[in-house]
Amino acid sequence: MVSRLRRGRGPDAPAPFVVGVGRSGTTLLRLMLDAHPELAIPPETGFAPDVIKACRDRRLSADDVLALLRDQRTWGDFDLDADELRGRLASVRRRDPGAVLREFYGLYAEGQGKPRWGDKTPAYVKRMPMIGRALPEARFVHVIRDGRDVSLSRARRAARQPPSPARAAAIWKTRIERARELAGHLDHYLEVRYEDLVTDTEPTLRRVAEHIDLPFDPVMLRYHERAPERLAEISRDLPAKGTKAERSGSERAAAHALAASPPTSERIATWREAMTSAEVAEFEALAGDLLAELGYEVGDAGRADEPDG
């Protein structure tokens, strides 16, 4: 154990990458891990695949990399000194995407006064092998939540007409099955159920900590004490870019507000009350087999009776 902890604090310390289908609890796990005195996890990045691809260009300069990062609409979330980052990028081999990414994450962690870094970007669940090749220290933690609750949560946050239960089921099932397929190409991959994270928190966090060679610290259980301060990073307006619409700071903060509360089982199996029998049947017709495989209850058992009329 001593050698593990010593290795875990070095420059190549294991770096957690928290991934999953959106609205599955990745922000909650991010806040729990970020509460650890040794680990800093920034708001969602989203640019790692772009950096990896850009580094294939032999002509890439430090200014080119910095311009790519600053062009991201999330750049303002990280509160980094652009000149400091440019200097660090100038000192590494730009064709090595791992080295480039480490400079970004390392500078962010230093700003938080911590020696280790990680990432929480749900969409990276589709890019795990790419990221793993660039960053061998990456250790992926896939947060999985009951797809029926995911669909309800996504519908509440949707700016447009939410997808039908069948469409939501297809998206949820496809992304999880694809992630499990990709996991076969990874050295370090762990699945964590959202429901275990909120009802069996300490044992679940200990599993995650062991996976990333991080000594467990009880302060992670008190993540909510510091959560408002950490979530304030995303209280700024997010400008429109490409096909992505502008998002107000209040909207962004509201989307993650519940993650700042202590763990509660109140948001588990909300589908029993909020979905009709027809909607449940439609969802389960597409994804019931995966729900059952993951240990979730399927069918009408346990679902609240629909109100009369």
Domain boundaries, the chain: 2-141+186-260
Pairing of strands 15-19, 39-40: unpaired
Residue 203 has pLDDT above 70, yes or no: yes
The yes-or-no verdict on residue 303 having pLDDT over 60 is: no
Does the structure show a pLDDT above 90 at 48?
yes
Residue type, 30: R
Nearest in space to 135 (alpha carbons), one of 212, 29, 36: 212
Mean pLDDT calculated for residue range 247-272: 88
pLDDT tens per residue across span 92-125:
998 999 999 999 999 999 999 999 999 999 999 9
Distances (CA, A) of 166 to 60, 121, 123, 272, 277: 45, 25, 21, 17, 13
Fold for 2-141+186-260, please state it. Answer: Rossmann fold (3.40.50)
Nearest to 120 by CA among 7, 201, 182, 39: 39
Measured CA to CA, the distance from residue 184 to residue 180 in angstroms comes to 7
The token pair at 214 is 């991080």
The closest alpha carbon to 303, from 174, 193, 149, 173, belongs to 149
pLDDT band at residue 254 under the 50/70/90 scheme: confident
CB 102 within 8 A of CB 138: no
pTM: 0.92
